[in-house]
Structure 1
Amino acid sequence: MLCFSLFIRSLLGATLLTSACSPADGDKASTDQPQATAQAPGGKKGKKGGHKKGKSTDLPAGLRKVGRLTDGILESSGLCAAPEAGTYFTFGDDGQQPIVYQVDATGQQVGQFTLGAPNHDWESLSRDNRGNYFMGDCGNNNSDRRNLAILRFRPEQPTKVSKINFSYPDQTEFPPNKSERNFDCEASLWHDGQVYLFTKDRAQSSTCKVYTVPETPGTYKAKLVTKLAIPGQVTDATLAPSGRRLVLLARQELFILDGNSWDAILKATPRHISLKGAGQTEGAAFKNENTLLLTTEQGAVYELDVQ
């Protein structure tokens, strides 16, 4: 009887111990499940629009999340330093209002203005060294647009917009065959009196074509400067303060081209950096020589250390 009683007590103790551990195991399992997708007003669930949360993922070394864009700033499509130190301009792409938002380095809105031109498909923003800004209204998903333009303006006079209209010298069909659709430009930047255009290769031939148009308003045939071997679809471009490093952002990755001159940069072999887990990365701007600020269409704001 004593042995049987001891056996029963041992069996009951083991059962109670197992019961006490199971909630912790259940909690651990639940953290591995995808979180619900949030949908902001006017956004599209599971697609573009709205700030969404996804499954938690370890980020690559050097990449850290530092904030989120203020609610209402939807589908951030580009990023550029604003005149006030420590602030940046961002905006939505096609379908969004022609509003340029000013945010701090964590994504919190500190101002906004309405640009005096419609948003056909805004995709990038850059500035020169005299306070002029250049908005790339040249998103061209199907390579069928005939109204491509760079909008030149000054933030203190946003209703006064002049246009740099352009077309591609090597495009003859609208749209061309799918294998030739490399006329979508989501990345541009000003450099030395020219606006450089970097195409997003939708033909998947890993070729980013680089064109230029003058900074002066008018109507032009863009000049094809070079072709870069970029195995990704380019979504933004930014130049380091030193002028010796070009970053071409793509979706969840970026490419760095270093050189002692602009010509050397365009001939450099691109270095690849993974941004896996960051989301649909669309905006990039240098905070300083070795730190990038990145935004996504889902509203996240990241910093990335680059060497």
Structure 2
Amino acid sequence: MPFLLTTALLTSTLLSSCNSTPAEQSTTDFTTTQADQGKKGKKGKKGKKSKGEAVELNKVGDLEEVRESSGLAVADTPGTFYTFSDAGNPPIVYKVSETGKLLGTLRLSATNYDWESISRDNQGYYYLADAGNNSNDREDLAILRFRPKTPNQVDKINFSYADQTEFPPKKGDRNFDVEASLWHQNQLYLFTKDRANSSTSKVYTLPDQPGTYKAKLLTKLSIPGQVTDANLSPNGRRLVLMGREEMFVLEGSSLADALKATPRQISLKGAGQTEGVVFTDDNTIYISTEQGDLYKYEF
């Protein structure tokens, strides 16, 4: 069944859609709308909404062998992805096809405390963020760096937040849970899931080399939701932040510019608990859900 959804038109740029045609794909129709964020930061304020153009999301398959997919990355062979299960599951990275078929597994020599996001660099390393922090009280946060050919060799990038002094902080200050990360130009970018007010995603940076670091606070994004994953287009001009049944799109001439842009909010209501996102080219993303659905979206 098609499900309707809405998106905020915070800029004059509109999303356009491209249809995928394979017979096994199902099409989900969207209606986009724009929420006024002029009252930013105040609880309970709802902006006016206006209708926009319809776009399409295509379901391309099911991750039948993966429990609670929590992240997505392009794998080391064309047309494949890496994904993994949420906290408490075995330390396994699953290799799947573009339709979700299981192709293989990698068992890392690490513990899955709360794996939440995966990204890769241009040298063949993958970075798996063991940074889930629901109660904001963890002091053992780490990024696991590995190569698929040597899963027994896992480097650790241990970190804490430069602005966190209490474990946990007061409930109104609990914004140290990270489910979204990406690699870009020798830096790791971490995006918090605001468990206090669901209105701000803090952006931190880390070096991509093994060691122990204080994550530096780079900026704060006004995001009216909780961020569950992040990915950057290959040209570095479009940043997508996933939320639960929604996504936020920020665009600019570079990642630095995109982080200054006003997010466009796109509702994915009915898609399930959307937890993973990855670009396969500048205009195409794949989205995974904890329920095991795999979607394709074209800008």
Q: TM-score range by the shorter chain?
A: 0.7 to 0.9
Task: Indicate which of 76, 88, 93 corresponds to 1:100.
Answer: 93
Bigger radius of gyration:
1
Residue 110 of structure 1, aligned match among 89, 103, 106: 103
Which amino acid letter does the alignment assign opposite residue 287 of structure 1?
T
Amino acid at match of 1:225: L
Please give the residue correspondences for 1:80-229 in structure 2 after superposition, counting only pairs within 5 Å. Answer: 80-229=73-222
1:102 to partner: Cα distance: 0.4
* Cα distance in 1 for residues equivalent to 2:279 and 2:213: 30
Unaligned stretches of 5+ in structure 2?
2-26, 31-54
State the 1:58 CA deviation. Answer: 5.9
SS in 1 for 2:209: coil
1:275 is aligned to 268
CA distance in 2, matches of 1:232, 1:105: 28
Which of 56, 64, 68 aligns to 2:58? It is 64
More helix by share: 1
Deviations 1:201-238 (A, max 9, x none): 01125100000111110001110000000111000001
User: Which of the two has greater strand per residue?
Assistant: 2
Check the 8 A contact 1:59/1:276 in 2, yes or no.
no
TM-score after normalising by structure 1:
0.80
**Could you state the TM-score of these two structures normalised by the residue count of structure 2?**
0.82
Deviation at 1:59, TM superposition (A): 4.4
Aligned counterparts of 1:294 and 1:275: Cα–Cα separation in 2: 11
Q: Does 1:300 align with 2:283?
A: no
Could you list the runs of 5+ residues in structure 1 that have no partner in the other structure?
A: 1-30, 32-56
**Aligned residue number for residue 239 of structure 2:** 246
Partners of 1:78 and 1:205 lie apart in 2 by 20
Alignment root-mean-square deviation, CA = 1.5
Number of positions where the alignment pairs a residue of Structure 1 with one of Structure 2 = 251
Measured in 2, the distance between the counterparts of 1:288 and 1:212 equals: 24
1:91-150 CA distance string (max 9 Å, x none): 001011000000011111111110111000000000110001100000000101000000
Aligned-partner Cα distance in 1 for 2:155–2:165 = 26
Letter of the 2:172 partner, please give it: S
- Whole-angstrom distance in 2 between the partners of 1:261 and 1:59: 30
What displacement does 1:287 show?
Answer: 2.2
> Contact between 1:242 and 1:289, CA under 8 Å: does it hold in 2?
yes
Counterpart in the other structure of 2:35: none
The CA distance in 2 between the partners of 1:286 and 1:194, in whole Å, is 18
Q: Deviations over 1:229-287 (max 9, x none)?
A: 01110000011111111100111000111111221111111111111110000000112
Rounded to whole Å, the distance in 1 between the matches of 2:186 and 2:62 is 34
Q: 3-state DSSP class of the match of 1:107?
A: coil
Q: Distance in 2 between matches of 1:232 and 1:59?
A: 22
Per-residue deviation at 1:171? 0.9
CA contact (8 A) 1:59 1:275 kept: no
What is the Cα deviation at residue 190 of structure 1?
0.6
Aligned residues with identical type, % of pairs: 62
Q: Matched residues in 2 for 1:125 and 1:58: separation?
A: 26
Check whether the contact 2:198–2:225 (CA below 8 A) recurs between aligned residues. Answer: no
Change (3 A) 1:162 1:73: same
Question: Contact conserved, 1:234 with 1:248, CA < 8 A, in 2?
Answer: yes
**Whole-Å Cα distance in 2 between the matches of residues 173 and 68 of structure 1?**
41
Q: Does 1:74 align with 2:60?
A: no
Does the 8 A contact of 1:143 with 1:182 survive in 2?
A: yes
State the one-letter code of the partner of 1:69.
L
